[in-house]
Amino acid sequence: FLPMAPQLPQPQVRSNIAKFLRSFLGITRILQIVFGAGLWITVAANKYDGPIHFVLFVAVLFWLLTLALFFITLLDKQDLVPLLGGERWLCTNLTHDVVAAALYLPAIGVMFYKTESYSYCNLNQYQHSCLYKVYLTAAVFACLCCLSYLLSVIYGGCRKSRGEQTVI
């Protein structure tokens, strides 16, 4: 059988969790999770079609990946991730954030396009159901997501350029 990794004393685990939650990366990961959930819930709760499927794909994919990175880092288990963990963990996080930011940019474009295409129904006299406010809300969430991933890219890039290996 495999030997178990040494268990940290309970106060040390709590200290690591608190340290991560107060760190810049911990805060940005929480924001990414909240804004990503806001985006995909806003879109999925309403009727959507065409290019909105791409936006939903990006939002859900990176929401799930960010949740995984968040909990692995929160529990300090990055050494257990094969090929990507250990001393490669900072580079893994940086790569994730770069790809997320790059894919959120076209998602923002799609949301702005759909918002603009429904701008005619943003009048007080318009009586039918309209997706303008839904798409506008989703566009704002997509912008906030992209911004939070870009902040993580800058932070991770600075740490990587200084030769640091740890995420926090």
Residue 151 belongs to a domain: no
> pTM for this one?
0.86
Sequence letter at residue 157 = G
Residue 87, C-beta contacts closer than 8 angstroms, at least 6 positions apart: 165
For the cut 90, the answer to whether the pLDDT of residue 144 exceeds it is: yes
| pLDDT band at residue 126 using 50, 70 and 90 as cut-offs | confident
Unique residue bearing structure tokens 């740890």: 166
**Closest to 145 in 3D by CA, of 18, 44, 30:** 30
Rg over alpha carbons for the chain, rounded to the nearest Å, is 19
Who wins on pLDDT, 2 or 95? 95
Residue 133 belongs to a domain: no
Residue 10 belongs to a domain: no
Q: What is the reported pLDDT for 57?
A: 97
For the cut 80, the answer to whether the pLDDT of residue 26 exceeds it is: yes
Strand boundaries in the chain, DSSP class E: none
Q: What is the reported pLDDT for 53?
A: 96
68: domain range? 20-119
Residue 103 belongs to a domain: yes
How large is the average pLDDT for residues 97-122?
Answer: 93
Residue 97 belongs to a domain: yes
How large is the average pLDDT for residues 50-79?
Answer: 93
What's the domain count of the chain?
Answer: 1
**Closest to 164 in 3D by CA, of 69, 30, 155:** 155
Residue 36 belongs to a domain: yes
**Closest to 144 in 3D by CA, of 9, 4, 24, 33:** 33
Q: What is the reported pLDDT for 54?
A: 97
Q: Give the span between the Cα atoms of 35 and 40, in whole angstroms.
A: 9
For the cut 90, the answer to whether the pLDDT of residue 168 exceeds it is: no
Who wins on pLDDT, 104 or 10? 104
Residue 95 belongs to a domain: yes
